[in-house]
Structure 1
Amino acid sequence: MHRSAPRLTRILACAAVPVMLAVAGCSSDSDGKEGQAPGAKAPSAGASSAAPGGGVSEKPTPTVIPAKYAKLPSACQAIAAKTIEDLVPKVKTKAGTPGKSSNPANRGGCSWNGLEDKGVDGSQYRWLDVSLFRYNSDPVLGSGDERAKESAEKEIAKLKATPGASKMRTSPANGIGDEATAVAYDTKKTDEEFKYATIVARTANAVVVLSFNGAGYAGDGAPGEKAMMEGATKAAKEAVAAIAAANK
């Protein structure tokens, strides 16, 4: 009886302190653990997420760099009329044929074509088209620039996989946007040799895909590769500049 009195006193003392202190400082008598200072707190599994005042802090929302460009220009007005006249002689529709888009702020396209008939000297056919893409910054998907870069890489990969293409050639296209790639190849259509010159350019969070192709008919030769790529490069630069102008 006399030996149980001290134990009873300790139990009553522990009952008078807060629960968290009682668990840490008074459990040694029951579980036999030693070396723990009275009143010490055990680490809590949720301590890392505890906020001042005892609440649980929420994970911070990821942030991304805002997209530079908020809109796209009209694709049919992204290339100067004089350039279209030079690249596509006898163009059928000078204003261009717009592509269908459910979201013009993020996607647009336009094309021009024409056949210059030179009689007994043959004919020359040209096709020019431009596609514009814009990407917003998204906390989950990434910044607009990153998304545009991924899009440009996919466009280049699609061009490299063009069915029936021969003499595929790719090279950097310097001085067009933030980065650009030139893709050239040949194809056979209706027994005629077509020359293709394409520029895939990224400017901040926007992508320009400019395709220019042509062929000679009725005995006229195919257009020169250099001239085709020079034409595509000129038009691509104008399209990149049009995006910047539309966002001033």
Structure 2
Amino acid sequence: MRRSASRLPRILAAAAVPALLVVAGCSSGSGSGSGGGKDAADASASSKTAKASPSVTPAKYRTLPDACKIIDSKTIGKLVPSSKDKSGTAGTSTDVNAHGSCHWNGLKNKGVDGSQYRWLEVSLQRYDSQSTIGSGDAQASKQYANAIEVAQTTSGAKSVMTHPATGIGSQATTITYTLRKTGEDFSYATVVARADNVVLALTYNGAGYAGEKSPSVSDISKDAVSAAKGAIEVITSGGSGSGSGTASPSSGSSKSSSPSPSKSSGKSSAKSDGTSGKKSGAKPSGSASPSKKASTTG
């Protein structure tokens, strides 16, 4: 009995060791759980940061010039002699700071010596930067490409030629072709140009009547390029904004809003013959062919 009594303290001490290990293990697990909660919170914060909307570069121009004032009267007098209205006919727009257009036409009647008809149209489209669809420049680049395709796919066009126009805005392209209308061969030139977030499409065409020789595509193209260059310079020169004949560059982030469609030109127009291409960069305002009378309308 003495021997059993002396062993009892040792047995109890040995039994206590596993119990202590169990307690220590529980304590360690509790600390690990606390650290896991912190890691989860950090991961959640990181996820929220990753989901934040990406920023886009603000659009450079926040307004558009008046489309009817973007080409000076001297140029109008040269390109459209005997113009019905030298101040131009403006297209309908629901937002003049997003899109605008204007056209001029005239028939220079020389009686028995024949007549010369000319049509000039300019269309402007501006894009704002938006985080959901990209920068104003990126959107304008897409519209620039669309407007070129519209001109290239003009219904009935022949001898279509496309080549770059240097020294005009951020990028520019000239598309030339001939089109048979009212028994005459019309010479056409469309210049599509982009100045950062603004796209310009200028179309110029003409034909001779009653024995008068039609202008060459080369001459029409040369005049169209010159007019487009002057119009782009008005846009890039800056100014007080719409209605003044100049575009207004943004001093900071522009208000993010996409251009609202107008009744006549929701997108940039690249044609003025009343036909549409495969992709419509705009609803073109049709250039009517002149009748044999001097009272022709556009």
Pair 1:14–1:88, CA change in 2 (3 A): same
2:230 is aligned with 1:238? yes
8 Å CA contact retained: 1:15, 1:22: no
Identity percentage of aligned residues: 43
- Name the counterpart of 2:117: 125
- Name the counterpart of 1:13: 24
- Once the two structures are overlaid, the 10-residue window that deviates more, 1-10 or 114-123, is 1-10
Question: Structure 1 residue 7: deviation in Å?
Answer: 3.8
Pair 1:141–1:15, CA change in 2 (3 A): same
- Name the counterpart of 2:105: 113
- Once the two structures are overlaid, the 10-residue window that deviates more, 195-204 or 136-145, is 136-145
- Name the counterpart of 1:213: 205
Question: Structure 1 residue 146: deviation in Å?
Answer: 1.5
Alignment gaps of 5+ in structure 1 = 24-39
1:35-74 CA deviation, whole Å, 9 max, x = no partner?
A: xxxxx97xx68865545xxx96453431122111111010
Alignment gaps of 5+ in structure 2 = 1-10, 239-245, 250-298
2:218 is aligned with 1:226? yes
- Name the counterpart of 2:187: 195
When the two chains are superposed, the root-mean-square deviation of aligned CA atoms in Å is 2.7
* Mapping for residues 81-96 of structure 1, pairs under 5 Å: 81-96=73-88
| Counterpart selection for 2:67 from 43, 59, 75 | 75
Question: Structure 1 residue 134: deviation in Å?
Answer: 0.8
The residue type paired with residue 140 of structure 2 is: A
Quick one: distance in 2 between partners of 1:20 and 1:129? 76
Question: Structure 1 residue 139: deviation in Å?
Answer: 1.6
- Name the counterpart of 2:285: none
How many residue pairs end up in the alignment? 229
Quick one: distance in 2 between partners of 1:84 and 1:195? 18
| Counterpart selection for 2:159 from 164, 167, 177 | 167
2:92 is aligned with 1:100? yes
Greater strand fraction, Structure 1 or Structure 2:
1
Quick one: distance in 1 between partners of 2:48 and 2:229? 53
Question: Structure 1 residue 142: deviation in Å?
Answer: 1.6
Quick one: distance in 2 between partners of 1:95 and 1:119? 26
Pair 1:4–1:160, CA change in 2 (3 A): farther
Which structure has more RCO (C-alpha within 8 Å, separation ≥ 6)?
A: 2
Question: TM-score w.r.t. structure 1 length?
Answer: 0.83
Quick one: distance in 2 between partners of 1:6 and 1:159? 91
Question: TM-score w.r.t. structure 2 length?
Answer: 0.70
SS at match of 1:170: strand
Quick one: distance in 2 between partners of 1:226 and 1:56? 59
The residue type paired with residue 112 of structure 1 is: W
- Name the counterpart of 2:287: none
The residue type paired with residue 138 of structure 1 is: Q
- Once the two structures are overlaid, the 10-residue window that deviates more, 2-11 or 145-154, is 2-11
8 Å CA contact retained: 2:178, 2:217: no
Pair 1:113–1:66, CA change in 2 (3 A): same
